[in-house]
Structure 1
Amino acid sequence: MITAPALPVRFVLGPGWETFEESVRRSAADLRVRRNDVTVDVRLERCAAGRLRDTYPVSAHDVEVWIGDGCPDGVLPDLLRTLVDTVQRADADCRRVVHAVHVGELGRIAAAESAGFRYVVDVDLGQEELSLLAAEPGWVTSTDIDLDRVPGA
């Protein structure tokens, strides 16, 4: 089992967002975020310490972003983009930010994809089936297509 490092101490979202920390633990933080007249519950949790730990080959720094059902569809893509930027700025070693939605929630999948996430896999947690989407920084997704050269040689 991977030991998940502590989450960064504070998450400061971009301009216009107010953040209220509801509960902060070593590997998870429950936040309430607000912009204009929209308030949304958000959970950030290290995948290696949370419900997704056995669903894919997690990296110690991966973070799941969970957004409450009350988030309006028009706000979701911007909130997801903001959360990805915030997590990656706070933890430079984060390889992927994961957003899980119930299988078949096409509206939420489309919103996540418009925010830069890509569909990865469907998983069965026993009590629910989820589609996992991931947002990864360029240093993770960049590849050297020169297959005749050994990197670093």
Structure 2
Amino acid sequence: MCSIARALELVGERWSLLIIRDALFAGATRYSDFNRRLGIATNVLKTRLDGFVETGIMRRHRYSDQPELYEYLLTEKGRALAPALVALTEWGDRWSTEGEPPILYTHAECGAGITQQTVCAHCGRVDDPAEIRATIGPGMPPDRIPHERRR
């Protein structure tokens, strides 16, 4: 299974990405925050949050004993999804939004706009997707490599 497929297994559902978006960019941490902001069914929200904890995208932290209440905090693994969400937002702004973008991402330090770019380690920015080639990496299981490409 490729890395895109593995990532989609964890976060490839609409509600999952919206929960992570709100945790990353809106400061949502509590069950009630996500429920109120997203209008998501409680069973779906519980399943997604439990799944994020199980896979290490979030961790549960008790903030009250009476009643017992928890907040859901992004881990490093969860915060690392920020560039993917910015890229998905840019794609949506270009191809799925009428008019001006509904959300803008800015750098908290200086206020300038944030963008996601594809960059070659040698040449710099790559704007044409036709210039991007996917090749078999060292983590590809041998049985998934076409016979003619095996060494």
TM-score (norm 2): 0.25
Which structure ranks higher in relative contact order (CA pairs < 8 Å, sequence separation ≥ 6)? 1
Select the structure that is richer in strand: 1
Radius of gyration: which is bigger?
A: 2
Select the structure that is richer in helix: 2
TM-score (norm 1): 0.24
